[in-house]
Structure 1
Amino acid sequence: MLAALPVLSRIFVALIILRVSPLAVFDTPIMSSQEKVKLPPGLIAAIEQDDLETVKRQYAELPIAEQKNQHTLYEAASLATSSSHAEILSFFFSEGLVIGTQSAHDSIIEKACGVSSIPIFRVLIEEGHLDPSRNLELYGDPLTGAVFHGDVELAEFLLSKGADPNTDYPLGHYSSLVWSIVGDHNREAPDGGHRMMKSLLDGGAIVKETGALIAAADVGNTIAVQVLLEAKSKGLEVDLEDLTEYGEYDSRKDEGTALWCGARSGNLMAVNLLLEAGASEEFRDRKGRTPIEIARANGHQDVVDSLAR
């Protein structure tokens, strides 16, 4: 997928995969160098060691002006977040820390996404510091980021806190549902991403006009095809003849239905499941090729035989 992206976009997506904020590349700080503060070594050590009582004592020993300084609080809270120490993060909020609620860029929120810690997100959300559907721009939104990394526990937690699985803040221009289908972390999970998909669908993820079924057939994710077809049988709106591209970075040059794409890619099991569900074999792409013709052109004889029955 990365090969199809412009150079700058490939850098951004690669950094996200590594859980490194793309903003760090450009050293875009929240505050100017004049405003940055240097925390006392003892406070730093206590935060890193998750020693809340020592943190409180070290913080109380700071001059009053520094204790109430937002930059001091922000630096300390950022360290607590990157260290995944939720109680310490909560302490600094109780001392008056305020973070922006509108900006797409916030170091604490980005660090929270990087460490994928449910206790950290619990503090941010339950204490009113983070909308779980907040646009984080290069991170998409917290839910999409969790799905991208295959972190099903965090995804389910965010859904339980009201995260919207249908936001307009895709990561790499794939929605959370599509990432649950095409993302390596989910496909390589012991259950093949089944739990992640089910959680998103149970959480209200929309399938219609997302290209999700096309994505599943195209990449050969048979589990995803099964989940979507099962959801369709239970009343969820899933269009077997959908032609929606499933991502802006989708490198497919010829669009087609899920059956056509599965045939083109040679994914026999997906093709058979779609045929059983009633997918049409009559679709023709812009070059006039039917599913059986594209399968034959690509040398997928087993798929040709299945479609010829």
Structure 2
Amino acid sequence: MKNHILLAWVRWSASLFASSVLVLILVGCEEATESPSQALIDSEEEIVSANEGRAAEKEPPAEAKPQKISTQTSGSKEVVVDITAFGDAAMDGNIDFVRQAIKDGVDVNAVDDQQRSALMLAAFNGHTSIIKLLLDQGALLDHQDALGRTALMFAATGDNLATVKLLLDSGADVNAVDKGEGFTSLMHAAAEGQLEVVRLLLEHKANPAIRDVDGDSALDFAKRNGHSQVVELLAK
């Protein structure tokens, strides 16, 4: 958990998507201070790579593994929907697949083996239209995954201002704390230098005084990562 991490973005085009893959390369074993977003990935010790034949979007920690199928009854018809396929569609922004799966009776709150819901996966890549659809169908806004992370935390890791706003306006808990490191959505946004996301979280009463298990605050992460504008905002 204290390894240095080299982040490299690999871009390419595919017939269905043109998107980015975050490639994580572990280099060396010297001690380094961990940030919330680093831990979001490190917690599962995963290396994210593209699936052959299609472009993959940035993926959250713990690559989804094949799951049991979700069997629902839609009228007189029994419907079988692959939970992993449903989550992947939400993460990839495939709203047509998500809409059809819901029509066929999928449980919108079905989770993968890391207890991550489709709402979380859509939030991670900022797919606001899918989030609206899922919320309209009863998706749990503050569901926590196996490590206590929420959809708002997933959204706050990136440049997903519209998604963060939607979740906050829908009543997401702005000061939720994960079960492992004690990270908040504000810490994730501050560590990544997401100035406007930080500003929006503060406007919705995010508490900058909350500290993680190591005693670090959102301001500490912003300072450590050299995000001067975020530091200035949090220091007010």
For the structure 1 residues 205 and 257, does the alpha-carbon distance in structure 2 shift closer, same or farther, using more than 3 Å as the test? same
- Partners in 2 of 1:291 and 1:181 — Cα distance? 21
Q: Does residue 75 of structure 2 align to residue 130 of structure 1? A: no
Q: Which residue of 1 aligns with 2:183?
A: 256
CA RMSD of aligned residues (A): 3.4
- Partners in 2 of 1:6 and 1:276 — Cα distance? 34
Q: Does residue 101 of structure 2 align to residue 158 of structure 1? A: yes
Match of 1:178 among 120, 124, 148: 120
Q: Larger RCO: Structure 1 or Structure 2 (Cα < 8 Å, ≥ 6 residues apart)?
A: 2
- Partners in 1 of 2:164 and 2:45 — Cα distance? 30
Q: Does residue 204 of structure 2 align to residue 270 of structure 1? A: no
- Partners in 2 of 1:174 and 1:163 — Cα distance? 15
Q: Which amino acid aligns with 2:163?
A: A
- Partners in 1 of 2:110 and 2:184 — Cα distance? 24
Shift of 1:284: 0.6
For the structure 1 residues 155 and 292, does the alpha-carbon distance in structure 2 shift closer, same or farther, using more than 3 Å as the test? same
For the structure 1 residues 207 and 2, does the alpha-carbon distance in structure 2 shift closer, same or farther, using more than 3 Å as the test? farther
Q: Which amino acid aligns with 2:101?
A: L
- Specify which structure has the higher proportion of helix: 1
**Structure 1 gaps, min length 5:** 20-102, 106-124, 188-192, 233-237, 246-252
Residue identity (%): 25
**Structure 2 gaps, min length 5:** 1-21, 25-41, 57-66, 145-149
Which structure has the greater CA radius of gyration?
A: 1
Q: Which residue of 2 aligns with 1:242?
A: 176
Shift of 1:146: 2.2
Q: Is the 8 A contact 1:209 1:242 kept in 2?
A: no
Q: Where does 1:24-103 land on structure 2 (aligned, <5 Å)?
A: none
- Partners in 2 of 1:220 and 1:176 — Cα distance? 19
Q: Which residue of 1 aligns with 2:140?
A: 206
Q: Where does 1:13-24 land on structure 2 (aligned, <5 Å)?
A: 14=51
Shift of 1:147: 1.3
Q: Which residue of 2 aligns with 1:58?
A: none
Q: Which residue of 2 aligns with 1:218?
A: 157
Q: SS in structure 2 opposite 1:130? A: strand
Q: Which residue of 2 aligns with 1:52?
A: none
